[in-house]
């Protein structure tokens, strides 16, 4: 659990979320990040705050953190994932070559590992 900024300790997650949205509209992304982080800590189901914080990280150029929050948001929602949010995650992956490369390397290594574990498996696995 992260430390909640003092000014958000006595507010609800909804109030922190609204504050973050206002800061985001004002392009005060650092303050928005602080508010969304507080909303996440204060909420039992922080999918919306995670989505908002992912967008804020994206504006700040921190695509790794944006992707992490987007993935966590999808996990929190589990069912009824908003398709728009899913495509936003895909957009983040495609926007960052190092993330795309890491995914490619991981998938390739998984295929190679499966070949080692199952030498009889087809060599044409993609």
CATH number for position 67: 1.25.40.10
Confidence at 126, pLDDT banded by 50, 70, 90: very low
pLDDT in tens, 92-122: 776 777 766 666 666 666 666 666 666 555 5
Burial class (CB within 10 angstroms; exposed 0-12, middle 13-18, buried 19+) of 71: middle
How far apart, in whole angstroms, are the C-alpha atoms of residue 72 and residue 77? 9
Per-residue pLDDT band at 4 (split at 50, 70, 90): confident
* Greatest Cα pair distance in the chain: 61
Residue-wise pLDDT tens digits, 23-48: 999 999 999 999 999 999 998 888 88
Q: Would 26 be classed as within a structural domain?
A: yes
Domain count, the chain: 1
Confirm whether 58 is domain-assigned: yes
pLDDT for res 15: 95
Host domain of residue 20: 6-95
Highest mean pLDDT: which of 44-58, 61-75, 94-108?
44-58
Phi, psi at 12, each rounded to 5°: -80, 165
The answer to whether position 114 is within a domain reads no
Half-sphere exposure of 58 (CA within 13 A, CB side): 21
Query: Please, are residues 66 and 54 in contact by the beta-carbon 8 Å criterion?
Result: yes
pTM for this prediction? 0.63
Residue 33: predicted pLDDT: 96
Whether residue 124 is predicted with pLDDT greater than 60 in this model: the reply is no
């Amino acid at each position: 659990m992260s430390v909640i900024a003092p000014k958000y300790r006595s507010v609800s997650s909804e109030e922190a979320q609204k504050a973050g949205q206002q800061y985001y509209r004002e392009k005060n992304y650092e303050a928005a990040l602080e508010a969304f982080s507080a909303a996440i800590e204060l909420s039992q189901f922080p999918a919306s705050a995670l989505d908002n914080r992912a967008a804020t990280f994206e504006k700040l150029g921190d695509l790794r953190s944006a992707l992490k929050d987007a993935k966590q948001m999808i996990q929190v929602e589990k069912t009824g994932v908003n398709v728009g949010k899913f495509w936003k995650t895909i957009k983040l992956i495609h926007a960052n070559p190092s993330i795309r490369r890491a995914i490619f390397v991981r998938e390739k290594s998984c295929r190679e590992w499966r070949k080692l574990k199952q030498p009889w498996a087809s060599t044409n696995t993609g």
